[in-house]
Amino acid sequence: MNRLLGVELMKLRRSGMVWIAVGAPLFLTLQGIANFLRYSDTMFAGSTRTKWEILYEQCMIMYPSLLLPLVITVMVALLARLEHSQNGWKQLLALPVTREQVYKSKLVIACLLVLLNLGVLSIGTLVGGLMIGIEGDVPYELILGRGLLAFVATLPVIAIQFVLSYRFSHVGVPLAIGTALAAPTLFAANSERFWLYDPWTYPVMAYFGPAQEGITRGDWMYAIACGLFLLIIWIGLQEFKKRDMV
């Protein structure tokens, strides 16, 4: 399994996937910081929120609802394409590795890429804020803690895209389905009752949902996210183990 992980990391070399993982959030944090600097004397003046909160919002407002699901879709599809494109499955699976090991190591890589992606967003915001010298206590829990929670919230999306990407050798299938499902996220997230049924809204809720005490819909969300992830990944694994590599 460790050997497989090493090999999978090697395959990422020059594939451009790491650039997508780092580039997309970096761009948004830079843009958020620029916005913050530009409007801090006008629009944001007199706001009741702290400067850190304003910066957080500027950096993250677009990401979970629009870009994040697409970035996940594209990254996971590209990861699968590494094997699909030159029919790497038949070579990889003829070697002394089990299908379960292959499947799991690919999943770990996919999760690491998403984690890197969310990490750049959070840390980028934090470092950016420190560099431009925002006053006041740094709200680590908001900036870093929610980034971690957001990872849990993206798990169902990762699982769905992962299974689709590995099941269908044509890269268009996961891309089309992923994009179509991501499109209504903003509307669904604004619905009081129905957002819980659409896992694509979970990252939005993780970043911008109200921080509440006690058991709330938010806690349910993380439980559902983990449950869905395990279920979908398990179903995908059963199919992968039985599949004829034609």
Partner 1 sequence: MAAFVIETNNLTKTFKGFKPVDALSLQVKKGEVYGFLGPNGAGKTTTIRMLLGLIRPTKGEVRIFGKPLERYRLEIARKIGSMVETPSYYGHLTGYENLEITRKLLDAERKDIDRVLEIVRLTEWRNTKVKTYSLGMKQRLGIAQALIGKPELLILDEPTNGLDPAGIHEIRDLIVTLPEQMNMTVLVSSHILQEVERIADRVGIINHGKLLFQGELAELQSRSQAKIYVEADRPDEAARLLFNTGYRIEKREGALYIDADKSRAAEINKSLILNGYDVSHISEERKSLEDIFLEMTKEAQSV
Binding mask 1-20 for partner 1 (x = CB under 8 A): --xx-xx--xx-xxx-----
CB-nearer residue toward partner 1: 2 or 42: 2
Q: Does 100 bind partner 1 (CB under 8 A)?
A: no
Q: Give how many residues touch partner 1 by CB under 8 A.
A: 28
47-55, 94-102, 203-211, 213-221 -> range binding partner 1 (CB under 8 A): 94-102
In the chain, what's the furthest Cα-to-Cα distance? 65
- Other C-beta atoms lying within 10 Å of the C-beta of residue 6: 10
Burial 79-92 (b: 16+ CB within 10 A, else e): bbbbbbeeeebeeb
CA distances from 52 to 13, 32, 47, 136 (A): 36, 12, 12, 8
Q: Does 91 bind partner 1 (CB under 8 A)?
A: yes
Closest CA to 206 of 157, 138, 160: 157
50-58, 78-86, 117-125, 222-230 -> range binding partner 1 (CB under 8 A): 78-86
- Other C-beta atoms lying within 10 Å of the C-beta of residue 194: 12
Q: Report the residue from 45, 180, 215, 246 that binds partner 1 according to the rule CB under 8 A.
A: 246
CA dihedral 70, 72, 74, 79 (to 10 degrees): 180
**Least CB distance to partner 1 at residue 74 (A):** 16
Q: Report the residue from 42, 48, 94, 135 that binds partner 1 according to the rule CB under 8 A.
A: 94
CB-nearer residue toward partner 1: 61 or 97: 97
Which residue ranges make up the site for partner 1 (CB under 8 A)? 3-4, 6-7, 10-11, 13-15, 82, 85-98, 242, 244-246
